[in-house]
Structure formats: C-alpha cells, structure tokens
Structure 1
C-alpha cells in the first residue's frame, strides 16, 4: 500500500484550499493500492520554527512539541505528498512553509506534487515550493494542477467550484499518475537501501 498525503496548505478563515484538497483526495482514493490521507494544517497548529538545532541535524533529539511530533509522524508514514497551496505575494502561505521547516529526514527521498491557486494559478508559489522540496530531498514531479482564478472567485461568490475543478481532470490524472509512479519507485529504492 502506498500512502499519499494531501496537505491543505492554508489555515485562513473562509479558505478555498479545502475544496481542491478534497477533490484531489477523492481522485487518489479511486486508485488501487493507495491509502490517501488528508493532512490539514488546521489540525497541526505548530508554532513558528524557533529551535536551536535544525531538523536536519544528525543525532538531534526529537522536538518536544506534541503537535510537531504528531506532524512528523504523519510525514514519516507517507510515501508521497500533494501540496495544495495558495499563492500569497508570489509565494506559499507562511503556515505551509513553517510546517515543511519543522521536518527533515521524514521528507527525504519521497515524491511530491502540487495543486495551486491564486494569481497566475499559483504557479509562482509552486516554483518556490519545488526549490524547497529539492532542498529537503523530496522529488517534485513535473505535472501539477494550477486552478484558474475564475474557479477561485467562484468559491468567494457562491459559484460552482466543482464545475471549475471538473475542467481540470486531465492535469489531475497526469499529476496522480506521475506521483504514484515516482512514489512507488522511491519506496522501492528506500527499502533496498535500508
């Protein structure tokens, strides 16, 4: 069983991110051999990272914060990730970047994909997250889903968000196909290296 976690990358009141997160999660749940999980950052209210040692420090003790421990365990159990990210001022939400920064070895050598929204479909946010992913030894896949602004506005104006998301089925399937292929390959490689 391949565990894929969909990470809801916004905690704002009235947020849009839940809708595309649940939409991509439903597509993952239709795949054989996939245990699809939703990791909502509202369920992991971590403080801003302020520790004297980074998560990448070899031999450092586990962080004492219980929420950080739960978050780290959820990341460790996952074989791949889909980050559902807004774009705020050309980048991802601070809460998402902070959640990424609390963890290091548990991210390593796993696949990551992106569903984004915001100005320019959230592409600039994804570009920044791809660079972060590489630094924490995630393998970002090429395919991604960029939600048009019209679908985002439908959320705020009481429109038909589901219809807008349905128009993105082709890139969603490409993202899932790529993510599952890379997740399986990397899971096999991690197992053979241990």
Structure 2
C-alpha cells in the first residue's frame, strides 16, 4: 500500500473526507480534510472542520505513517478553506447550487476561466456553470474531465458581526425617509 492510500484510508476511516493531499519539497506532507454532512463527530456539531478535528487526524496519521515507515519531515492537517477545491465527482454533486470558479484544460471561445453557479447538466452526466457575461446569463456545459481546476468561490457575510451600532445606523437611515422613499 502506498503512503497516499494509507492517508486516504486513515482519514476516511475517521469519518472525514480527504479533499487534497500533497507532498511538498522539504518533506512537508499536507493533508486537507472536510466534514461529511450528516456524520456525527466527537468534537461536536459544527459545519466546518475544527482545530480538534485536525488534531485527531494528525495524531492518527502520525501513528499510521510511522508504522508504514513513510519518510516525511512535517505533517500539516487542515481544512480546505473557504475556496475549497473540487477534485471529485462527489464534491461536484455536494456543491451543486454554489458559486464556483472553474479553469478548463482547453479554452472555449477564447477563455479558460469561468465563475458562476454550479448545476447538473440538463442532459447526460455532465455539469453546467451559469454565469453572467456582462449582458445576460450564459450557460456553459462541461464534463468533469475537461476541468483543470475547480474551487468554491468564498462567500463572506459580515452582517452578523455588525452588532447594535450597525442596526442603529440602519434605523437612523430609515427615519430620514418618508413613505415614498424621498429624503426630507
């Protein structure tokens, strides 16, 4: 069994998804994991990977890699981040309806990069990305094999952090207008 198979077996055996694995110059072994929706974890019910998840996987991988005599200098286990790569058909299916950025292997109509909403193709086993070209919405059908790289587009929502000062500013702004929306 190869070192990558040992890592995959260990990560999936602990109930996590192996998102990415790479061996970097200098002996760094980098492993990205994600939680599987609907799976119960001993570290609690969180939507995202926690530090405790990474620690648990790290401890188990250190034992497995030592037993398998895998040569590495450092092990780094982390979440895939907000711009999570989509590397499997299962991850495409999981994130249908989300904003993604894809880079095609070969250009289509002069471009390789597209950003938009990921959808299942209307016909067949392929995929679609629905994007706005500056004038109208466009749909690009593509096959998994045609993609060099695909990632989620990070969605940051800071409204939850505004607190009372932001709410007070909103209330003051709404007091300035009349029913017709004209400022007094």
Q: Which has the higher contact order (CA 8 A, sep 6+)?
A: 1
Q: TM-score, structure 1 length as denominator?
A: 0.24
**Structure of greater Rg:** 2
Q: Greater strand percent: which structure?
A: 2
Q: TM-score, structure 2 length as denominator?
A: 0.25
Q: Greater helix percent: which structure?
A: 1
